[in-house]
Amino acid sequence: MNLRRWRRYAWIAGGVAAIPPVLWILIVLVAPTGWARRQVIARLESRSGRRVALEAVSVGLFGGIHLTNLEIGSPKDTGDPWLKAADIQLDFGPWRMLQGHCRPSQVDVNGVELRVLRRADGSVELADLIRPMAPPGSGGSSRAAESRISVRVHGARVLVVDEPSGTRLKLEDVEGEGYGEGPVEVVEQLHGTINGGTFRFAARVDRTARAMSAEAQLRAEDVALDEGMSILRYVVPVISGATSSLKGKLGTDLYFRGRGPNWPKLCKALAGHGEVTINPIELAGTPLVAEISKFVDLRGHRRMGSVRTDFIYRDRKITTDHFRLMVGRVPVMMSGWTDLDGRVDYQMTVQGLAERLPEQARRILGDLKIDVGSLTSLSLRGTLDQMAVQVNGVPLDRDLLREARLRPDDREKIRQLSRQLRDRFIR
């Protein structure tokens, strides 16, 4: 009797245990995927405030949800999506699904195409997605208490466009992982290629309302320069206005952080530091080298060189005391700043400047009794689009200095200039 009873209980227990797998198989076989797709679209649109397109939703036999060809566009349409993903896997299991828990703990994303855009008016396309969240326990938002979601990215491509500076960067073969937990979103590590070189990136953003913070670090090696790296000229003004295609190999290590009560104020409060090296760099066609060549005989040294600088960024200004430009074998040391409005103000020292003056300029200055040996420093002022080299604030005209036979009016101009130079250097 007892044996029969235990057999009956075993059959009942076995039947109960078989219910979830059987239900899951039925869900996989007969689930209305069109309905599921509409539900996913509605949920994504409500959370992002953006229009969403999704080709298909499928349920795995052993658990998991697959989203195929997801696109997220502007709040109005998906005609120009900023995000595309060929395949997204969510780790919903049958037990969690049947219990009504539809929030994933792991998301795997394959074949991502992401655009990060700052428009010409300075607005950021994704800025409205970085919404402040009420701190935990404030009662203002239930999302602050949400559990962690881990995200892994495979085979991604990222396009970074900054219209105000004319920058356009393409990141390829991007792999990485991170997580979101309440108001905190972390990129633990992201790596990939850019212009034949490699990069590594990490970041942390805390969207807690009234106490937002962010920090990020970027390292890159052996990156080939191209016309899309215009933003680099704020750190390396030597490349500004180059008439030919930039050629060189870039290495950099950047770190930035900021805090503020909201996102705009956080961005204004950003500060950081960094190092940049470009070795080698082709200098032909760069206005700065053309300006320096007014005073320094660079024949045979003007094509290839190198740059090394470290800097700090604060109050919208990039400042350095250690900028070294090698023009061939001629070292040029610079200290000064560039601000985000494009203004530049640097002091430059050229090693052996007096000895490197062109012979014609040396002879003319000597005839005018100007102390050539006192010419030890230069200044670089103006804007990134129009900069000029001066000697203690006095601009020198190369055509006058190199005129083989001076006309009377040209000689008078140089005599006036000589008096200015004497006042500045010899008194």
For residue 345, being part of any structural domain is answered with yes
Q: Is residue 172 part of a domain?
A: no
Residue 380 lies in a domain: yes
Alpha helices in 241-318 (DSSP H): 263-268, 287-292
In a domain, 70, yes or no: no
244 vs 99, more confident: 244
**Residue 160 falls within a domain, yes or no?**
no
Give buried/exposed letters for 41-64 (b at 16+ CB in 10 A, else e): beebeeeeebbbebeebebbeebb
pLDDT band at 121 (very low <50, low <70, confident <90, very high): confident
CA distance 25 to 416: 95
Among 15-24, 92-101, 182-191, 340-349, where is mean pLDDT lowest?
A: 15-24
In this predicted model, what pLDDT tens digit does every residue of 262-286 receive, in sequence order? 888 898 999 999 999 999 888 777 7
Residue 159 and residue 114 in contact, taking contact as beta carbons nearer than 8 Å: yes
Confirm whether 267 is domain-assigned.
Answer: yes
| The predicted structure's pLDDT at residue 74 | 74
Report which residue type is found at 162.
D
Q: 124 vs 172, which has greater pLDDT? A: 172
| Domain span including residue 420 | 225-427
> Mean pLDDT throughout 90-119?
76
Cα 40 to the chain's mean position, in Å?
A: 32
**Do β-strands 343-350 and 377-383 pair in parallel, antiparallel, or remain unpaired?**
antiparallel
- What is the rounded distance in angstroms from the CA atom of residue 334 to the CA atom of residue 293? 16
Assess whether pLDDT exceeds 70 at residue 172. Answer: yes
- Tell the residue number behind the tokens 């050629």, with chain if given: 247
The larger pLDDT score, comparing residue 167 to residue 95, is at: 167
As for how many domains the chain has, the answer is 1
